[in-house]
Amino acid sequence: MRYYTYFPGCSASEGGAKAYNWSAKAVSRVLDVDLAELEDWNCCGSTPSGSVDELGAYCMATRNLALAEKRGLEMVTPCSACYVIFNRTNTYLNGYPPFKAKVNEALAAGNLAYRGTVKVRHLLDILTTDIGYDAIKSRVKKPLAGLKVAPYYGCQVVRPRFGFDDPEYPQSLDKLVLSLGAEPTNFPLKARCCGGSLVLSEEDVALDLIHRLLQSASSNGAECLITVCPLCQTNLDIYQSRVNKKFKTSYRLPVLFFTQLMGIAFGLEEDAIGLRNCIVPIEEVLAKYV
C-alpha cells in the first residue's frame, strides 16, 4: 500500500467532474494506493483568483499546504489547475524568503504556518511513475484491444515544467493507454489548450480551440478521448454540441477521464466510475470492444 494526502479540488469533489473523483478513488483502491482526503481543505486559490488578488490566492493555496504538511505525506491532486497552483506556490515561497514571511504572517492569523515541505504531484504522475505501467497492466480484466483512444494532456499537467513528462510532447498517457490494451492514436494537438475558463467569458474563442482539438483527434481515427483535468473534460464534452452547431460538424466523441478508462479495463462497475456523467455517451463505442 502507498499512502498520499489527496486533494480532489472543487470541480472533482462537488462540481461537474465528480466522476473523476469517484473513478480516481476506485482505480486507486485496485492499485493499492491510499488516497486520504485532506481534511477541511479550501479552493486551491485558482487561476482566476490569482488574477484578482494574487496574495489572497497564494494564501488560499498555502493554507492547504500547511494542513497537508501536518500529515507529512506527498499530496496528490487529479486536477491539472490545482497541480500548477500548488507547485507555483511552493516554488515562489521557497525561492523568495520575504514572500514566504508575508504569507506566513497571514497564515498566523489562522494559527497556521507553512515550512514549505509538501511535494505536490498529479494523479497521472503517481499512477504512471510510482505504480507503473506493468502493475496497471496486471490488473486489466477487460483488455480494450482495438479501441482507438486520443490521449489528451492539455496544458497544465505538463506546463510549466514542474514535472514528470515532456512539456510539449508528453508520453505518459500514451503509454498508459497501451498498458490497458487499447491503442493510442496519433494526436498532434494533444498538449494544446482547450480554452480553459475562457469558455465562460469568451465562448467563441474557446469553441474555436475545442474545434481544432476534436478535428485533430477525429482525423487520426480516435473513437474517444481521455483527459487528465476537470476543465478539459468539461470543455470537450459539454461544449461539443456547440462546436457542432457553430462549425456545422457532427462530432460525437466521448470524453472520459483517464481513470474512467482504467476503471473500464479493470472491470469496475459503471456507477463506481461515473460513466453516466458523460454527456456524449461512451456505451456505443464500448459495446464494440468490451
Partner 1 sequence: MQLKTRSETFIEEICDIPGGEGIKRCIQCGTCTASCPNADKMDHTPAELIAMARAGMRREVLSSNAMWYCLSCYLCTVRCPRGIKQTGLMHAFESLAMRDGVSYAGSFTPTMYRSFNHFACALGSMPEFGFMTWFYMLSNPLRAWKMIPIALELFRHGRLSIKARRLTPEGTKQLRAILEKAETLGGVT
Binding residues for partner 1, rule: CB under 8 A, are 10-11, 13-18, 40, 42-43, 45-60, 63, 84, 88, 91-92, 95-96, 99, 102-103, 105-112, 155-156, 159-161, 167-168, 192-193, 195-198, 200-202, 205, 209, 238, 276-279
Q: Which is nearer to partner 1, 177 or 274 (CB)?
A: 274
CB of 96 to partner 1, least distance (A): 5
CB of 95 to partner 1, least distance (A): 7
Q: Which is nearer to partner 1, 16 or 181 (CB)?
A: 16
CB of 137 to partner 1, least distance (A): 31
All three cell numbers of 176: 498508459
Q: Which is nearer to partner 1, 193 or 225 (CB)?
A: 193
CB 290 within 8 A of CB 140: no
The HSE-up count of residue 69 (CA atoms within 13 Å, CB side) is 15
Q: Which is nearer to partner 1, 2 or 246 (CB)?
A: 246
Distance CA 21, CA 29 (A): 12
Dihedral, CA of residue 155, residue 163, residue 143 and residue 261, to nearest 10: -40
CB of 146 to partner 1, least distance (A): 27
Range list of H helices, the chain: 9-13, 18-30, 47-52, 54-71, 80-95, 97-108, 123-125, 133-138, 172-179, 198-201, 203-219, 230-238, 240-247, 258-265, 283-287
CB of 143 to partner 1, least distance (A): 28
Q: Which is nearer to partner 1, 48 or 146 (CB)?
A: 48
Residue closest to 234 by CA, chosen among 205, 182, 199, 271: 199
